[in-house]
């Protein structure tokens, strides 16, 4: 069974630009969550999607947005990039919900903002 | 306000030692307490998880101890090996909510 895949793996952008990251969950998984990981703040929850609807949202500014498609694939978008957005962005999927089923993480997208 | 506090930040043990990582939480509504392991360049992977109806759970060399009254839970790694060197995260969640992670503990097991 293929794991969670994320593309691209590495990305370099400049301040003010926008970026879109993609996540393909494990086949059959309907819940997709996104996290930002930085050395100082650790793993911070961005949002969770289930059946194309945002089910939970973390405490991030509106510049961070996401969506989920009917095949459960998900994208997250960051507009007007800031230097502080440099981080590893992790996608995770679970069958129904992260608190009832094992949540599997992808390898992440390393975003560098210059 | 940090909803889950993890300690220590880093830990060095000898091979065969028993590292212990602790987490404390405030919200009594939390009912799911997993531990994740992360190697460099990889995403975190679920190691073991516990619900509040039991006080201990073992899976192989990994044990979670849970103290509901103290609102604390800990991970014990028996007979630690150099291959256990990684970053460990505790997390908490309640029904229908996302996982909230601790800040992580970097474990080094020397041979």
Tell me the count of A-B CB pairs closer than 8 A.
Answer: 56
- Is A98's pLDDT higher than 90? no
In the prediction, which pLDDT does A74 show? 98
Contact A98 B101 (CB under 8 A): no
In the prediction, which pLDDT does B3 show? 87
- As a whole number, the mean pLDDT across chain A is 95
Range 85-104 of A in CB contact (< 8 A) with B:
90, 92, 97-100, 102-104
- Tracing tokens 């994208």 back to the chain, one arrives at A75
- Is A1's pLDDT higher than 90? no
Which residue of A48, A90, A100 is in closest CB contact with B98? A48
Which residue of B36, B96, B98 is in closest CB contact with A33? B98
In the prediction, which pLDDT does B17 show? 97
In the prediction, which pLDDT does B1 show? 62
In the prediction, which pLDDT does B18 show? 97
In the prediction, which pLDDT does B5 show? 96
Q: How far from each other are the two terminal CA atoms of chain A, in whole angstroms?
A: 37
Is A40:A84 a contact under the CB 8 Å cutoff? Answer: no
In the prediction, which pLDDT does A40 show? 85
Q: Encode burial over A50-74: b for 16+ CB neighbours within 10 A, e otherwise.
A: beeeebbebebeeebbbebeeebeb
Mutate to test the interface with B, among A24, A50, A97, A98 (most CBs of B within 10 A): A98
**Band (A85; pLDDT cuts 50, 70, 90):** very high
Contact A98 B41 (CB under 8 A): no
In the prediction, which pLDDT does A59 show? 93
Q: List the single range of A47-51, A95-99, B20-24 with lowest mean pLDDT.
A: A95-99
Residue of A nearest to B39 (CA): A107
Residues of chain B with pLDDT under 70: 1
The structure tokens listed for A34 are 């996104």
Is B42:B89 a contact under the CB 8 Å cutoff? Answer: no
Is A93:A3 a contact under the CB 8 Å cutoff? Answer: no
């Amino acid at each position: 069974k293929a794991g969670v895949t994320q593309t691209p793996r590495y990305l370099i952008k400049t301040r003010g630009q926008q970026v879109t990251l993609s996540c393909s969950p494990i086949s059959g998984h309907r819940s997709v969550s996104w996290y930002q990981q930085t050395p100082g703040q650790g793993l911070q929850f961005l949002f969770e999607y289930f059946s194309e609807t945002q089910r939970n949202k973390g405490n991030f500014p509106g510049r961070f947005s996401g969506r989920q498609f009917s095949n459960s694939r998900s994208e997250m978008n960051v507009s007007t990039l800031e230097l502080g957005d440099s981080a590893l962005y992790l996608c995770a999927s679970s069958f129904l919900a992260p608190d009832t089923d094992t949540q599997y993480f992808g390898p992440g997208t390393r975003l560098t903002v210059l | 306000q940090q909803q889950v506090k993890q300690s220590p930040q880093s830990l060095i043990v000898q091979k065969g030692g028993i590292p212990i990582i602790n987490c404390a939480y405030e919200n009594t509504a939390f009912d799911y307490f997993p531990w994740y392991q992360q190697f460099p360049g990889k995403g975190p992977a679920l190691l073991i998880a516990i619900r509040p109806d039991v006080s201990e759970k073992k899976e192989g060399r990994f044990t979670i101890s849970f103290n509901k009254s103290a609102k604390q839970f800990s991970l014990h790694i028996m007979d630690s090996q150099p291959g256990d060197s990684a970053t460990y995260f505790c997390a908490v969640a309640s029904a229908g909510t996302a996982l909230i992670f601790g800040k992580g503990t970097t474990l080094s097991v020397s041979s």
